[in-house]
């Protein structure tokens, strides 16, 4: 700051002095040319000193910017990772990512402008002090003009602050909805809702644009005031000078000293609205970050101890609550002691608090009272597996060094060896975001392997075996969790619903009514006939796997359970089993319709993505903007801006500077007028009177004032057209970008991180909304100043052109190198920034797991390493700009001093007025050249955002939404035919479906089964045309679905997905976003899914907000709401993907009845991950490696004893032959 101050003092105090002295020296015929040349050399020395001080100050400021940004990013990350759960509910991941990137950048960048803010008042003070010295009291009129404008701009700054606040809320709302749209894109495409949700995003964007328009209107007025004011101030002061001083004559040295001072003031004046704009943005970001950083932090309610007293987990009279204001705790009066090296199962009804007990041990839930102590290091396996975007090996190692022997044993015991054989790069296969290329079972097994490899003291396992098949679960329990498993010497707390594992545990904790109802061994609790018995009866009723387990137990002879307990368990199993009286040969219709919740709670439909290769995420394309590409992108922006608007903008702004130059040339002619000059010299020519002098002055002053009025009109046109053009460009580009994203094929979303897409709508569109038009304005402003200054210099001293030509060539030469390096560094900056945001998003999603393992420091170091990589590139950019700045300093200062030097060599040829004109404008060249390069670099950086947006706009889209003529009432039967159908996800990949041919009769119920990677999910994608075929066709009621539009097809199909997804917003919007049905229609559909009573009991009914991702409802309720959507559609073809996996047995029965009654005439295809779901279907389609292996009724496939028979055996289903075959 001291260097900047010194630089300003040198410029402000020496420029007018040297201007006056040089003009006097030139005008004085008796002065020596050597004096003028000496003054020129001193001027060069002073300008070089001031320039070097500026460059060093600039370097220091931007180095400080890097440090501030790093500190803010690190602070936001630490806060997000340690955010209390109450505070976490207030912020979406998108909002916190904005704090990390956008707000941290804004604060750090604009803090470097504080020197401008601090020195602007001093700037005004010193300039007007010198103006008073030159013009006397007349300068007070100019100061009064500035003072009159100030309150208006203060009011505008206040209004702009309010508008920035409003727009920040609009942007948060847009990003929040956009994140949900991108996360649920598959659902949108399956339901043909892209346009509907695109309109919702457009509505929010229109609110943004409304605010943006008002911001630009206010800014237009500010820019008009501050651009017109320098000339207006000079007119006012010159008028005042003549009226206050009678017949005084304005000398060239006074006139051009004033011009020089106003040119110095002009930069501060022109920067004032931008500085106010920047400070307003920074204050908004400071306020947002301040609020976030003051939120409550996580404070572990459990105490971790390292000393051993034989008790691993101890809770004494402990109560816990997820809600501080709740009078009824989630868990109350818990007294629990878990010995070291013991295996404890936690059981209880749904909602009894099992996961809350695990959270209590982790310290994640608020402790109301009591004590909680956990001995040793903790490893945690969450109910929903958290997977990093890294190799599978690194997901398991989780920062630990490689122990090959231990690693191989962990992989084998966690049943991951077959999966590694299937993955294209084995354990070095890259796992995509959120584990996109792994099934639910694979993700859970990787999560468990991570915990086992971690070698902790206490293992908290929140239902980790729910997502795996029964035989895989038994293998993991025996090899990992059980008495002979890898963790036999560790303390293990296992939440489970599976009766199979209970006999093998040391003790069981039974939760009921928010407290520990019972504890004891399996045999003791089973004999006690207490709460555990009721829980066990519920488990047997709700989970089909438990019935199969007991049936196997009944036949076993070497089980550890004594005969009395076995008899009691079998009796409990038989109590609520529905009796089948139907003599149909179909296999156990009612029993087998019950599905296992734990087997499919988290299974993914992306099993076919295993063929996608070692890397799933496509690397971001390099963006380099320079040369022809710069002009190409500018023309793209001009097209969005509007050709006529752009032409009028450039013309009006260019005309403004032409008039400005003409005004200064007119001032030269005014001060050099022979009549006025003779009066100034004290000589009156023959016939010249004072009236002639006054009339001449008024003529010059009138023209000078008229030029000022014309300049003001040009600026008014420019600001008005800019407001229209910028808003038009922003609307056009955002709409094209949104349309392109919504119309992109699903393969794009599978290989592109959501964060990368949201960056296009947040940071890149922000650049296009504000930084790009501002940068173009500043660049054009500096180019215009340099151009008119060169014209003025050449006009005053034509011989200077000999020097300007080689300097221009030199400038272009170094600019070419600087532009290329800047483009490449900016591209590197973008690439090094993306890993920061990806790591942030990933870490926040798994913050609970990171805290459980106690590895926050490692994750913080990882972020800081990525920030350091980003800062290295930013520092190289800073050095590049300073290198260019020094070269431009030499060019500008040489032009300025050489102009004065050469004029003194030709002493007597030019008048003092022309000397003043040339010197004043050569000083402008000196200050504007550096600013021109800075703004050009910023424009190129901002055009990279334009390039990235254009890349996404030009991405290939899906087929047409509407195409051809769809027959009336089509489809009316629901007959499906696959004819030699083949499918691959990308041209360079293998086929995932190979020459499939089969037909389905209208109204037939078909189960589709197969092992992981068989092609089940691909079959669904092909029916909805989420992926286009490599060859073959699918006919629906005789119509080739490839011949009609995507929406024509998808609107006629219905699907109940495995993973239920709801969007933030009213419940009614989630059920009927297109407003096609009445409230009564929706309530009737809810009645069929047995949710009408629940919805009507809500205070807001159908207007109830669903929360982010439907978080205000349970998974089962979300699944039922998805079924309600399907009922409203009344389609002839229905696809189910384990639709009842998340509901209890009673609701399951009711749903099955609804499917039979409401879809009795529909063709139903069920993608089954569990065979018992489809054992009563008409026919079963068995897929393997993308081919049809078997297709017949379940009875015939069992009789055949082929692939399906073997799958049934492996799944633990006891295949029974029909009476006809016995």
- Starting at the earlier edge strand, list the strands of the sheet with 1179-1184: 1053-1056, 1133-1136, 1163-1167, 1005-1009, 1179-1184, 1187-1192
Residue 386: partners with Cβ closer than 8 Å, 6 or more residues away = 447, 845, 846, 848, 849
pLDDT digits over 1103-1117, tens only?
888 877 777 777 667
pLDDT digits over 878-903, tens only?
888 888 888 887 887 787 777 767 66
pLDDT digits over 439-489, tens only?
777 888 899 999 999 888 899 988 888 767 667 788 888 899 888 889 888
Residue 323: pLDDT over 90 = no
pLDDT at residue 150, rounded to an integer: 72
pLDDT at residue 598, rounded to an integer: 31
Residue 631: pLDDT over 70 = yes
Q: Report, as an integer, the average pLDDT of 1055-1077.
A: 84
CA distance 485 to 476: 8
**Contacts within 8 Å (CB) and 24+ apart, 1088-1092:** 1088/1124, 1088/1127, 1088/1154, 1088/1158, 1089/1120, 1089/1121, 1089/1123, 1089/1124, 1089/1127, 1089/1151, 1089/1154, 1090/1120, 1090/1147, 1090/1150, 1090/1151, 1091/1117, 1091/1120, 1091/1121, 1091/1124
Residue 793: partners with Cβ closer than 8 Å, 6 or more residues away = 800, 804, 895, 899, 918, 921, 922, 925
For every residue of 727-738, DSSP letters joined together read HHHHHHHHHHHH
- Starting at the earlier edge strand, list the strands of the sheet with 976-983: 993-1000, 976-983, 1031-1036, 1039-1040
Minimum mean pLDDT range among 7-11, 754-758, 999-1003, 1062-1066: 7-11
Q: What angle do CA 487, 492, 498 make, to 5 degrees?
A: 105
Asked whether the beta carbons of 372 and 303 are under 8 A apart, the reply is: yes
pLDDT at residue 981, rounded to an integer: 92
Residue 585: pLDDT over 50 = no
Say whether the peptide bond before residue 971 is cis (omega within 30 degrees of 0): yes
pLDDT at residue 614, rounded to an integer: 46
Q: Nearest-CA neighbor of 965 among 859, 1048, 1054?
A: 1048
Please tell me the number of Cα atoms within 13 Å of 789 on its side-chain side: 25
Q: Report, as an integer, the average pLDDT of 341-356.
A: 82
For residue 210, name the pLDDT band (cuts at 50, 70, 90). Answer: very high
Q: Nearest-CA neighbor of 912 among 667, 691, 1181?
A: 667
Q: How far, CA to CA in Å, does 212 sit from each of 277, 473, 523?
A: 13, 57, 71
pLDDT digits over 940-961, tens only?
878 888 888 998 998 888 888 8
Q: Report, as an integer, the average pLDDT of 691-706.
A: 81
Element (H, E) at 1000: strand 993-1000
Residue 538: pLDDT over 70 = no
Q: How is residue 658 written in tokens?
A: 């032409």
pLDDT at residue 589, rounded to an integer: 31
For residue 595, name the pLDDT band (cuts at 50, 70, 90). Answer: very low
CA distance 901 to 36: 7
Higher pLDDT residue, 724 or 924? Answer: 724
Asked whether the beta carbons of 657 and 928 are under 8 A apart, the reply is: no
pLDDT digits over 1114-1151, tens only?
766 787 888 888 888 888 898 887 655 444 445 555 66
pLDDT at residue 982, rounded to an integer: 92
CA distance 373 to 902: 87
For residue 985, name the pLDDT band (cuts at 50, 70, 90). Answer: confident
| 643-671 helix and 690-742 helix, angle to the nearest 10 degrees | 160
pLDDT at residue 906, rounded to an integer: 60
Q: Report, as an integer, the average pLDDT of 1000-1026.
A: 84
Minimum mean pLDDT range among 464-468, 567-571, 726-730: 567-571
Higher pLDDT residue, 234 or 1156? Answer: 234
Higher pLDDT residue, 933 or 686? Answer: 933
Q: How far, CA to CA in Å, does 728 sit from each of 283, 638, 721?
A: 28, 11, 11
Higher pLDDT residue, 1000 or 576? Answer: 1000
Q: How is residue 257 written in tokens?
A: 């000293």
Minimum mean pLDDT range among 125-129, 975-979, 1063-1067: 125-129
Residue 1165: pLDDT over 60 = yes
- For CA atoms 187, 192, 194, 197, give the dihedral sign: negative
Q: Nearest-CA neighbor of 48 among 103, 79, 11, 94?
A: 11
Q: Report, as an integer, the average pLDDT of 523-532.
A: 74
Q: Nearest-CA neighbor of 827 among 628, 620, 632?
A: 620
Residue 388: partners with Cβ closer than 8 Å, 6 or more residues away = 394, 395, 431, 842, 846
pLDDT at residue 449, rounded to an integer: 92
pLDDT digits over 358-373, tens only?
888 888 888 888 888 8
Asked whether the beta carbons of 1082 and 1121 are under 8 A apart, the reply is: no
Displacement of CA 601 from its chain's centroid (Å): 28
Higher pLDDT residue, 897 or 685? Answer: 897
Phi first, then psi: what are they for 328, rounded to 5°? -115, 105
pLDDT at residue 207, rounded to an integer: 92
């Amino acid at each position: 700051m001291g260097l900047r101050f010194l630089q300003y003092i040198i410029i402000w105090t020496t420029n007018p002095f040297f201007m006056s002295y040089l003009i006097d020296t030139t005008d004085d015929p008796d002065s020596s040319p050597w004096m003028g040349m000496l003054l020129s050399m001193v001027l060069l020395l002073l300008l070089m000193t001031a320039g070097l001080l500026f460059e060093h100050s600039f370097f220091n400021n931007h180095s400080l910017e890097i440090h501030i940004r790093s500190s803010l990013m690190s602070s936001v990350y630490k806060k997000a990772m340690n955010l209390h759960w109450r505070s976490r509910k207030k912020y979406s991941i998108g909002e916190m990512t904005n704090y990390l990137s956008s707000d941290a950048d804004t604060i750090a960048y604009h803090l470097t402008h504080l020197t401008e803010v601090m020195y602007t008042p001093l700037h005004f003070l010193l300039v007007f002090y010198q103006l008073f010295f030159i013009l006397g009291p007349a300068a007070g009129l100019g100061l009064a003009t500035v003072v009159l404008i100030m309150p208006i701009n203060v009011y505008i700054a206040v209004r702009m602050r309010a508008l920035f606040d409003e727009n920040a809320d609009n942007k948060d709302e847009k990003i929040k909805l956009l994140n949900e749209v991108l996360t649920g894109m598959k659902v949108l495409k399956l339901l043909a809702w892209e346009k509907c949700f695109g309109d919702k995003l457009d509505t929010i964007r229109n609110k943004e644009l409304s605010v943006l328009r008002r911001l630009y209107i206010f800014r237009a007025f500010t820019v008009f005031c501050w651009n017109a004011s320098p000339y207006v101030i000079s007119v006012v002061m010159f008028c005042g000078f003549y009226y206050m001083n009678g017949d005084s004559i304005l000398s060239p040295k006074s006139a051009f000293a004033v011009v020089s001072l106003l040119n110095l003031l002009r930069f501060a004046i022109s920067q004032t609205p931008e500085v106010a704009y920047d400070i307003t943005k920074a204050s908004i970001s400071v306020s947002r970050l301040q609020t976030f950083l003051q939120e409550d932090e996580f404070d572990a309610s459990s105490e971790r101890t390292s000393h051993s007293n034989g008790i691993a987990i101890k809770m004494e009279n402990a109560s816990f609550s997820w809600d501080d204001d709740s009078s009824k705790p989630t868990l109350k009066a818990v007294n629990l002691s878990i010995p070291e090296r013991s295996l404890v199962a936690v059981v209880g009804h749904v909602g009894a608090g099992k996961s809350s007990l695990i959270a209590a041990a982790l310290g994640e839930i608020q402790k109301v009272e009591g004590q909680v102590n956990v001995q040793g290091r903790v490893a945690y396996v969450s109910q929903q597996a958290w997977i990093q975007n890294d190799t599978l090996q690194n997901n398991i190692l989780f920062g630990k060094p490689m122990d090959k022997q231990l690693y191989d044993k962990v992989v084998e015991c966690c049943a991951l060896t077959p999966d590694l054989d299937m993955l294209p790069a084995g354990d070095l296969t890259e796992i995509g975001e959120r584990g996109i290329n792994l099934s639910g079972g694979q993700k859970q097994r990787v999560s468990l392997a991570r915990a086992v490899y971690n070698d902790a003291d206490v293992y908290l396992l929140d239902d980790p075996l729910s997502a795996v098949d029964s035989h895989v679960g038994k293998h993991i329990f025996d090899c990992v969790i059980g008495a002979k498993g890898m963790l036999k010497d560790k303390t293990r707390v296992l939440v489970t619903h599976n009766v199979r594992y209970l006999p093998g545990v040391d003790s069981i904790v039974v939760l009921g009514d928010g407290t520990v109802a019972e504890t004891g061994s399996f045999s003791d609790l089973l004999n006690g006939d207490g709460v555990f018995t009721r829980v066990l009866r519920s488990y047997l009723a709700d989970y089909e796997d438990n019935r199969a387990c007991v049936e196997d137990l009944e036949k076993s002879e070497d089980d550890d359970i004594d005969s009395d307990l076995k008899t009691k368990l079998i009796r409990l199993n038989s109590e609520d089993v529905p009796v089948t009286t139907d003599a149909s040969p179909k296999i156990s219709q009612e029993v087998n319709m019950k599905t296992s919740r734990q087997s499919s709670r988290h299974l993914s439909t992306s099993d076919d993505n295993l063929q996608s290769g070692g890397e799933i995420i496509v690397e971001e394309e390099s963006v380099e903007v320079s040369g022809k590409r710069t002009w190409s992108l500018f023309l793209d922006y001009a097209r969005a801006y509007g050709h006529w608007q752009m032409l009028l903008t450039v013309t009006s702004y260019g005309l403004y500077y032409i008039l400005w130059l003409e005004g200064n040339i007119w001032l030269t002619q005014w001060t050099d007028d022979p009549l006025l000059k003779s009066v100034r010299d004290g000589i009156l020519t023959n016939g010249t009177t004072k009236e002639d002098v006054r009339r001449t002055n008024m003529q010059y002053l009138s023209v000078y004032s008229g030029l000022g009025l014309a300049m003001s009109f040009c600026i008014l046109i420019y600001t008005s057209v800019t407001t229209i053009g910028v808003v038009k460009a922003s609307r056009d580009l955002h709409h094209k970008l949104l349309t392109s994203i919504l119309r992109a094929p699903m393969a794009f979303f599978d290989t592109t991180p959501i964060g990368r897409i949201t960056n296009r709508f947040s940071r890149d569109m922000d650049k296009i909304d504000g930084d790009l038009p501002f940068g173009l304005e500043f660049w054009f402003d500096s180019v215009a100043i340099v151009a008119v200054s060169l014209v003025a210099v050449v006009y005053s001293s034509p011989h200077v052109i000999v020097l300007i030509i080689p300097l221009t060539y030199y400038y272009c030469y170094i600019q070419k190198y600087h532009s290329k390096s800047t483009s490449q560094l900016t591209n590197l900056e973008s690439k090094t920034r993306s890993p920061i945001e990806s790591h942030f998003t990933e870490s926040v999603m798994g913050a609970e797991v990171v805290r459980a393992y106690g590895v926050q420091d490692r994750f913080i170091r990882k972020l800081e390493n990525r920030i350091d990589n980003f800062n290295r590139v930013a520092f190289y950019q800073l050095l590049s700009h300073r290198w260019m700045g020094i070269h431009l300093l030499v060019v500008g200062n040489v032009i300025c001093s050489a102009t004065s030097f050469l004029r003194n060599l030709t002493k007597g040829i030019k008048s003092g007025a022309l000397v003043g004109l040339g010197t004043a404008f050569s000083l402008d060249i000196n200050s504007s050249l550096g600013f021109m390069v800075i703004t050009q670099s910023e424009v190129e950086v901002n055009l990279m955002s334009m390039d990235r947006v254009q890349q996404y706009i030009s991405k290939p889209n899906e087929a047409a939404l509407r195409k051809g003529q769809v027959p009336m009432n089509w489809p009316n039967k629901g007959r499906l035919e696959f004819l030699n159908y083949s499918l691959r996800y990308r041209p360079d990949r293998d086929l995932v479906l190979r020459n499939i041919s089969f037909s389905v009769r209208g109204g037939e119920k078909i189960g589709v089964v197969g092992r992981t990677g068989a092609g089940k999910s691909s079959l669904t994608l092909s029916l909805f045309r989420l992926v286009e075929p490599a060859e073959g066709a699918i006919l629906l009621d005789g119509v080739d679905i490839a011949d009609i539009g995507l929406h024509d097809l998808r609107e006629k199909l219905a699907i109940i997905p495995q993973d239920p997804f709801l969007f933030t917003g009213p419940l009614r919007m989630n059920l009927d976003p297109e407003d096609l049905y009445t409230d009564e229609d929706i309530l009737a559909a809810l009645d069929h899914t047995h949710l009408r009573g629940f919805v009507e009991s809500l205070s807001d009914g159908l207007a109830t907000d669903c929360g982010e991702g439907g978080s205000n409802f349970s998974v089962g309720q979300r699944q039922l709401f998805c079924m309600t959507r399907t009922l409203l559609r009344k389609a002839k073809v229905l696809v189910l993907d384990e639709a009842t996996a998340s509901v209890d047995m009673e609701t399951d029965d009711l749903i099955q009845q609804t499917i039979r009654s409401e879809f009795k005439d529909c063709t139903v295809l069920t993608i089954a991950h569990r065979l018992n779901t489809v054992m009563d279907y008409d026919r079963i389609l068995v897929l393997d490696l993308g081919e049809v292996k078997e297709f017949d009724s379940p009875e015939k496939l069992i009789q055949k004893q082929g692939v399906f028979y073997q799958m049934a055996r492996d799944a633990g289903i006891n295949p029974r032959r029909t009476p006809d075959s016995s």
